[in-house]
Amino acid sequence: MGFVRSTLALLAGVAVGGSLLLAYRVSQETGKSLPEAFSDVPEEAKRLFEDLRVRATDSVKTGRAAYREKQVEIEGRLSGGSRPE
């Protein structure tokens, strides 16, 4: 039971800390006070997660393109460069 309580307390702390961080970020960007910035936290969180999703998608596309290029290079070396002398 202690593990469950500790985990729930940790998750609650992360949620509160994340909210404070986002509110601080909003207050710095907009010039609002910290309590006023709390109303913008859900929008900021949505924008942050959308940005992370776009970055992850771009990274996956770049990785796949690099993988394909490397596969073509390896196949070329195996088919053309491995003749016995």
Number of domains within the chain: 1
pLDDT (0 to 100) of residue 68 = 96
Is the residue at 57 inside a domain? yes
Is the residue at 64 inside a domain? yes
pLDDT (0 to 100) of residue 85 = 46
pLDDT (0 to 100) of residue 80 = 79
Is the residue at 85 inside a domain? no
Query: Which residue ranges of the chain lie beneath pLDDT 50?
Result: 83-85
Kindly list the distances between the CA atom of residue 80 and the CA atoms of 2, 35, 75, 84, in Å, as whole numbers in the listed order. Answer: 63, 67, 8, 11
Query: What range does the domain containing 9 cover?
Result: 2-80
Is the residue at 6 inside a domain? yes
Alpha helices in the chain (DSSP H): 2-30, 34-37, 41-80
pTM: 0.63
